[in-house]
Amino acid sequence: MTVYRIPDLIAHKRDGLEHSPEALEQLIFGYVAGDIPDYQIAAWLMAVYLKGMTAPETAALTMAMAKSGDFLDLSSLPNTVDKHSTGGVGDKTSLVLAPMLAALGLTVAKMSGRGLAHTGGTIDKLEAIPGWNPVLGDEAFLKQAREIGMALVGQSKNLAPADGLLYALRDVTATVDNIPLIASSIMSKKLASGAKTIVLDVKVGGGAFMKTLEQGRLLARAMVEIGQHSSRNVRALLTDMDTPLGHMAGNALEVQEAIATLRGDGPKDLLELCLELAKEALLAHGFSVADAQTRPLEVIQSGAALEKFAAFVAAQGGDPSYVYHPEKLNVAQNTLEITALHSGFLERIDALAVGQAVLVLGGGRERKNEAIDHSVGVEVIKKISESVTAGEPLARIYHNHKGLEAAKTLLKHAFTLSSEKVNAPTLILDRVY
């Protein structure tokens, strides 16, 4: 085996040359083991930032990062599928999509994260359901996934530890905004999570990390190519995040909206996105186009997806009565409405401002492990292209007094009205396979 000197690897990338998989493994494994200092990895990251990486090289980096820790072995489970969103406001998609896929005969056995900054996390939302527990032992996790088709837990495993180390360094060396490094960060955890199929929701717009469609396409293509090099089925949708998804942002509120969608009463955009993501998962598993088009809606209409969600909640210690009576969930009783100053048509909703409003109310966290208030949030009452009369409410704040003035200020500037009607935004912007 060739032993590579770290200064040579830095120079190699500085000169725009391609690393071998073996070189990348030595670099990543050595860093995780503590044998390579931060300053050398920082120099290498800047070289990658400036010179880029080829698709095979990015795939090799991702696999080395995935192999730096534990792997989930899902080989005993049928039709395994994982879903990842790059983060947005009001994005409660996993709460709807996972039970839909389980009702369709696929297996969703995944680790999900908590929210940070203006983006919410699936685990935080689920913890708004009394008793629900994000911790399962390995045997219980696999047993539940096999029996119900769905198990979601917090990130308790040592999955891709190289990613956490590299991201902390990227954060302080101005090397975060780089497509190969972003793609390898996301996909290293997905590869280590063990699913055969991975469906990606790449958010694009003001409330997302990818601000432009071009950036989103580059990231989606990089992640799909990583999957192809790693023998996984990876399909990506690029979706709009200039405006919040659905009407609700905030943990308990989003659970209520997700349950409404599973009952067939949810907002049009959330249902559309879940149906499209489910279709991609079915196509990746070899279902016919006709079945992929029709079956996801059938499990909503029949109530099968809702029943799966209730079974999942109960299996992880939650009270399933909240699934059938979501109005019982703890939602802040104090409300304040943001009203229109004049009449017109809603032209723009600043998704980032809505997310930041939830954050200052206490519904999000700025540091990991910070406690949050599951009961607070924002309801976006009007959607883009709808008519608005002066004095009519645009949004409703659910609060416990904390951060109320800051939230009001954010939301007063979040809505833009036009004298002429504009078209509703296109939700699905592109697809990458």
Q: What does the pLDDT look like over 257-285, one tens digit per residue?
A: 999 999 999 999 999 999 999 999 999 99
**Known active-site residue 189:** yes
Please determine, for residue 431, whether its predicted confidence score (pLDDT) is greater than 90: yes
Contacts of 168 (CB under 8 A, 6+ apart): none
Question: Please, are residues 42 and 174 in contact by the beta-carbon 8 Å criterion?
Answer: no
Q: Looking at residue 209, what is its pLDDT?
A: 85
Catalytic residue among 82, 91, 163, 242: 163
In percent, the amount of the chain with pLDDT more than 70 equals: 99
Q: Looking at residue 99, what is its pLDDT?
A: 98
Q: Which two tokens stand for residue 218?
A: 């580059």
Other beta carbons within 10 angstroms of residue 54's beta carbon come to: 12
**Known active-site residue 265:** no
Q: What's the whole-number mean pLDDT along residues 130-139?
A: 94
Say how far apart CA 152 and CA 308 lie, in whole Å. 13
**Known active-site residue 67:** no
**Known active-site residue 385:** no
In percent, the amount of the chain with pLDDT more than 90 equals: 90
Q: Looking at residue 367, what is its pLDDT?
A: 75
81-324 belongs to CATH 3.40.50.12660 = no
Q: Looking at residue 428, what is its pLDDT?
A: 97
Q: Looking at residue 207, what is its pLDDT?
A: 85
Q: What's the whole-number mean pLDDT along residues 276-299?
A: 96
Say how far apart CA 426 and CA 257 lie, in whole Å. 21
**Known active-site residue 240:** no
Q: What's the whole-number mean pLDDT along residues 220-248?
A: 96
Question: Please, are residues 155 and 113 in contact by the beta-carbon 8 Å criterion?
Answer: yes
Print the SS3 string covering 346-405. Answer: EEEECHHHHHHHHHHHHHCCCCCCCCCCCCCEEEECCCCCCEECCCCEEEEEEECCCCHH
Q: What's the whole-number mean pLDDT along residues 314-319?
A: 98
Other beta carbons within 10 angstroms of residue 75's beta carbon come to: 8
Give residue-wise pLDDT tens across range 46-59. Answer: 999 999 999 999 99
Q: What's the whole-number mean pLDDT along residues 371-389?
A: 96
Q: Looking at residue 116, what is its pLDDT?
A: 65
Per-position b or e across 249-273, b if 16+ CB within 10 A of its CB? bbbbbbbbbbbbbbbeebbebbbeb
For residue 266, which phi and psi values (nearest 5 degrees)?
A: -85, 180
Catalytic residue among 85, 184, 185, 188: 185
Say how far apart CA 404 and CA 280 lie, in whole Å. 41
Q: Which two tokens stand for residue 1?
A: 């085996």
Q: Looking at residue 115, what is its pLDDT?
A: 67
Q: Looking at residue 155, what is its pLDDT?
A: 74
Contacts of 30 (CB under 8 A, 6+ apart): 6, 36
Question: Please, are residues 210 and 216 in contact by the beta-carbon 8 Å criterion?
Answer: yes
The type of residue at 267 is: P
Per-position b or e across 137-165, b if 16+ CB within 10 A of its CB? eeeebbebbeebbbbbbbbebebbbbbbb
Across the chain, what does the average pLDDT equal?
A: 95
Say how far apart CA 292 and CA 169 lie, in whole Å. 42
Please determine, for residue 231, whether its predicted confidence score (pLDDT) is greater than 70: yes
Q: Looking at residue 156, what is its pLDDT?
A: 66
Catalytic residue among 12, 19, 67, 189: 189
Least confident span in 25-39, 366-380, 406-420:
366-380
Least confident span in 157-171, 219-233, 395-409:
157-171
Q: Looking at residue 117, what is its pLDDT?
A: 65
Catalytic residue among 13, 84, 190, 232: 84
Give residue-wise pLDDT tens across range 16-31. Answer: 999 999 999 999 999 9
Give residue-wise pLDDT tens across range 90-118. Answer: 999 999 999 999 999 999 999 887 766 66
**121: pLDDT confidence band, cut at 50, 70 and 90?**
confident
Q: CATH code for 6-52? A: 1.20.970.10
Question: Please, are residues 336 and 394 in contact by the beta-carbon 8 Å criterion?
Answer: no
Instruction: Using alpha carbons, list the distances in angstroms from residue 405 to 94, 244, 320, 392, 397.
Output: 31, 21, 36, 20, 11
Question: Which sequence spans correspond to the domains of the chain?
Answer: 6-52, 81-324, 330-418
Q: Looking at residue 432, what is its pLDDT?
A: 97
Instruction: Using alpha carbons, list the distances in angstroms from residue 208 to 87, 96, 178, 364.
Output: 6, 20, 15, 16
Catalytic residue among 170, 247, 285, 308: 170
Other beta carbons within 10 angstroms of residue 362's beta carbon come to: 23
User: Three-class SS of residue 90?
Assistant: coil
Q: CATH code for 330-418? A: 3.90.1170.30
User: Three-class SS of residue 105?
Assistant: coil
Q: What's the whole-number mean pLDDT along residues 180-209?
A: 94
User: Three-class SS of residue 152?
Assistant: strand
Say how far apart CA 321 and CA 399 lie, in whole Å. 25
Q: Looking at residue 206, what is its pLDDT?
A: 87
Please determine, for residue 323, whether its predicted confidence score (pLDDT) is greater than 80: yes
